[in-house]
Structure formats: structure tokens, C-alpha cells
Structure 1
């Protein structure tokens, strides 16, 4: 029972973190930075990858 609760919390947190990372990736300052230098902010990658990892761990907890 507690594993399912932790799984649901991880999935919800993962979705929020991934959305936050994508929001940083799609921001105007990030687009300007990518246009000039081609670099993507580390916070964007960390948010998107961390969110996906959290979602995957949450899914494994639900089983």
C-alpha cells in the first residue's frame, strides 16, 4: 500500500519537474541563448531527464 502511494507521488512529481524543465527549455531567454551559442541550459536538461526518471521509478513502484 505504501509503495503504491510513493509511486503515485513520484509520478506526479516527475510530471511537474519535467514540465518545469520544458518550460525553461522553451523560455525566451533560452531560445535566444540557443540561437546565439547553440547551448541548452543545464537546468532544462536536468528537469526533463529528472522528471522522466522519477516517472519511470514511480511506474515501477505501482506494480
Structure 2
């Protein structure tokens, strides 16, 4: 449930935000910017490329 953003080292993908379900190896091309609360991890099963998300600071 980590939320990451690709940084400038990712080239044309810089600025893309991703929700990562599985553990990934370290990459200098992305930064961890948040996480999905454990109570809401089940919702991730319903996400696909057609779903729009809005991130709200809490």
C-alpha cells in the first residue's frame, strides 16, 4: 500500500504517482510519498486504470 512518485531520474515518467501493492526493490528513480492505511488496503482490489483518485492531505 505504498504511494510513490517517480522523480527526475525516471525521465519522461517523472511526476507519475503509483500505488504499489507488492514490495518492490529499492529504486533511486522513485520516492515514497505516503501509504494506504491498512484498514483500506482491500479497496485497492477495485482500482484499475479507469478509476480517478484524489489525494487529500489529512
After TM superposition, the score normalised by the length of structure 1 is 0.21
Q: Quick one: higher RCO (CA 8 Å, sep 6+), 1 or 2?
A: 1
Give the structure with the higher percent helix: 1
Give the structure with the higher percent strand: 2
Say which one has the larger Rg: 1
After TM superposition, the score normalised by the length of structure 2 is 0.22
